[in-house]
C-alpha cells in the first residue's frame, strides 16, 4: 500500500475574510456591524485583521446579524488558528530571518529573541499581511517594488518594506469603509464638489465629506500617518474588483500639499485604470506621473484660467481674489505659484493652512 502524505496547505483564511464577504453581501456598513459588538469599531477592526479572536459572544452577535451559526464562526476561528500555526512552523524553520526584516505596526526595538518571541514576531507578520509564505507575500506586495508603477524615486529604495506596511495598513482601513461599486463616471461627476472642499479649513470637517463623496464612486479614502521610513504622500490602488482606495498620509502638514496629493491620486484612478501608484515627491519620473501632476494642477488652476494665473501678482489680495474666483483655497494657489517658480518657496506661505499631528490624530484611520 502506497503511503500518502497528509496535505498541509501553505495558506490560511482569516475569519475576517468571511466577515468582510458577508458584510458586502448583506449590504451592512462597518458602523452597523460594530454596533452589535462589544468594543464597537475597534473590535470589528480586530476581527477583520485577525488581531482579535472570535469569542462565543462575537459568534452569537455575528450569527444574529450577518448569518451563519455561532458554531460556524467558532469553527472558522479554530481552523484559522490551526492553519496559522502550521504556517508559523514552516516560516520559523525556513524563513524567519527574512520575515523579521519586514516591519509591522507598533513594532518596538528588540534584542535577542527567544524561540517563543521569534514565533510571536513571525506570527504577527503572517497575520498582518494575511499570507502564509514569503513567496505569497512577494506575489501580493513585494512585486509592487519592482513594478514600473511603483515610484522609481530615490525615496523608494531602502524603505520599500515600510511603504508596503503602510499600504497594507491602508487596505485594512479600507475594509471599514463601505462604498458603492467603483464607477469612473460617478467619480468624474463629483470632482468639482471635491475640489471645493479645499476651502474648508478644518480637516475634521472636510475629511468626512471627502470620504463620503469618494465612497459614492467606489473609492475608499483612508488617512493614515506614514510609519518611520515611509516617505509616501499618497497611494492609489484597487483593493477589490469593485473597490478602489486612495491612501493619504498628510505628509507636509499643509493644505497645498494635502490637496495636490488628493488630486494627484484621483488623477491616477481616472487616467490610469486604477492601477497601483505610490507617490512621495511628485517628481515627473515617468509619463504617468506627469499626467497625474497635470491633472492635479488643472483642478487647482482651470485650463481656461491659466493665462490669467501666469500674470498673477505676488500679493495677498491678488492671490485671494483669484482663488475665490476659481473656487479653491488660497494656499493651493500659492503652492502652484511656488511649483511653477513664479515665487520663491519661502514666499506667501502665510496663505497656506498648516496642521499639527496632535490635531490630526483623532481623525486618522
Check residue 150 and report its DSSP letter. B
Are 176 and 263 found together in one domain?
Answer: yes
pTM: 0.87
Q: Which domain holds residue 120?
A: 15-106+115-138
On whether the CB atoms of residues 81 and 54 are closer than 8 A, the answer is no
Parallel, antiparallel, or unpaired: how do β-strands 219-223 and 277-279 relate?
unpaired
37 is a domain residue: yes
> Are 130 and 233 in the same domain?
no
Is residue 183 located within the same domain as residue 235? Answer: yes
Distance of CA 335 to the CA centre of its chain: 24
Do 207 and 169 lie in one domain? The reply is yes
Together in a domain, 194 and 278:
yes
314 and 179: one domain?
yes
For residue 126, tell me if it sits in a domain: yes
145-170: average pLDDT? 66
Whether residues 128 and 54 share a domain: the answer is: yes
Domain contains 148: no
Count of other CB atoms within 10 angstroms of residue 301? 22
The tens digit of pLDDT for each residue in 66-125 reads 998 999 999 999 999 999 999 999 999 999 899 998 888 887 777 788 889 999 999 999
81 and 166 both lie in a single domain: no
pLDDT for 247-291, tens place per residue? 999 999 999 999 999 999 999 999 998 778 888 766 666 788 899
Confidence of residue 138 (pLDDT cuts 50, 70, 90): confident
Number of independent structural domains in the chain? 2
Q: Dihedral of the CA atoms 44, 48, 52, 54 (nearest 10)?
A: 80
- Grid cell locating 274: 486604477
Kindly report the number of other CB atoms within 10 A of residue 189's CB atom: 13
Q: What is the pLDDT of residues 194-249, one digit of tens each?
A: 999 999 999 999 999 999 999 999 999 999 999 888 888 999 999 989 999 999 99
Q: Is there a single domain that holds both residue 19 and residue 164?
A: no
Q: In sequence order, what are the residues at sequence separation of 6 or more whose Cβ sits closer than 8 angstroms to the Cβ of residue 68?
A: 18, 22, 62
Amino acid at each position: 500500500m502506497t503511503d500518502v502524505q497528509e496535505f498541509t496547505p501553505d495558506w490560511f483564511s482569516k475569519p475576517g475574510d468571511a466577515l468582510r464577504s458577508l458584510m458586502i453581501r448583506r449590504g451592512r456598513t462597518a458602523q452597523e456591524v460594530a454596533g452589535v459588538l462589544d468594543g464597537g469599531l475597534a473590535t470589528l477592526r480586530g476581527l477583520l485583521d485577525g488581531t482579535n479572536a472570535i469569542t462565543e459572544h462575537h459568534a452569537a452577535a455575528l450569527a444574529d446579524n450577518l448569518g451563519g451559526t455561532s458554531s460556524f464562526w467558532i469553527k472558522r476561528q479554530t481552523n484559522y488558528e490551526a492553519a496559522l500555526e502550521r504556517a508559523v512552523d514552516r516560516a520559523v524553520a525556513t524563513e524567519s530571518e527574512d520575515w523579521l526584516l519586514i516591519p509591522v505596526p507598533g513594532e518596538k526595538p528588540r534584542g535577542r529573541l527567544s524561540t517563543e518571541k521569534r514565533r510571536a514576531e513571525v506570527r504577527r507578520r503572517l497575520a498582518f499581511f494575511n499570507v502564509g509564505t514569503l513567496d505569497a507575500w512577494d506575489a501580493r506586495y513585494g512585486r509592487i517594488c519592482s513594478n514600473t508603477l511603483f515610484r522609481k524615486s530615490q525615496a523608494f529604495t531602502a524603505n520599500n518594506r515600510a511603504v508596503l506596511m503602510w499600504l497594507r495598513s491602508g487596505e485594512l482601513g479600507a475594509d471599514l469603509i463601505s462604498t458603492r461599486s467603483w464607477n469612473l463616471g460617478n467619480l468624474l461627476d463629483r470632482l468639482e464638489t471635491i475640489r471645493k472642499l479645499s476651502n474648508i479649513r478644518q480637516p475634521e470637517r472636510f475629511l468626512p465629506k471627502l470620504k463620503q463623496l469618494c465612497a459614492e464612486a467606489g473609492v475608499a479614502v483612508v488617512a493614515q500617518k506614514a510609519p518611520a521610513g515611509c516617505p509616501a504622500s499618497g497611494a492609489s490602488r484597487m483593493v477589490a474588483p469593485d473597490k478602489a482606495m486612495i491612501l493619504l498620509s498628510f505628509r507636509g502638514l499643509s493644505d497645498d500639499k494635502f490637496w495636490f496629493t488628493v488630486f494627484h491620486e484621483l488623477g491616477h484612478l481616472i487616467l490610469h485604470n486604477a492601477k497601483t501608484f505610490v507617490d512621495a515627491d511628485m517628481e515627473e519620473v515617468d509619463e504617468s506621473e506627469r499626467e497625474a501632476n497635470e491633472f492635479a494642477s488643472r483642478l487647482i488652476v482651470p485650463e481656461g484660467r491659466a493665462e490669467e494665473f501666469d500674470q498673477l501678482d505676488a500679493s495677498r489680495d491678488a492671490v485671494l481674489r483669484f482663488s475665490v474666483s476659481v473656487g479653491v483655497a488660497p494656499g493651493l494657489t500659492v503652492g502652484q505659484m511656488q511649483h511653477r517658480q513664479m515665487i520663491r518657496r519661502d514666499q506667501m506661505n502665510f496663505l497656506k493652512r498648516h496642521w499639527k499631528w496632535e490635531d490630526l490624530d483623532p481623525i486618522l484611520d
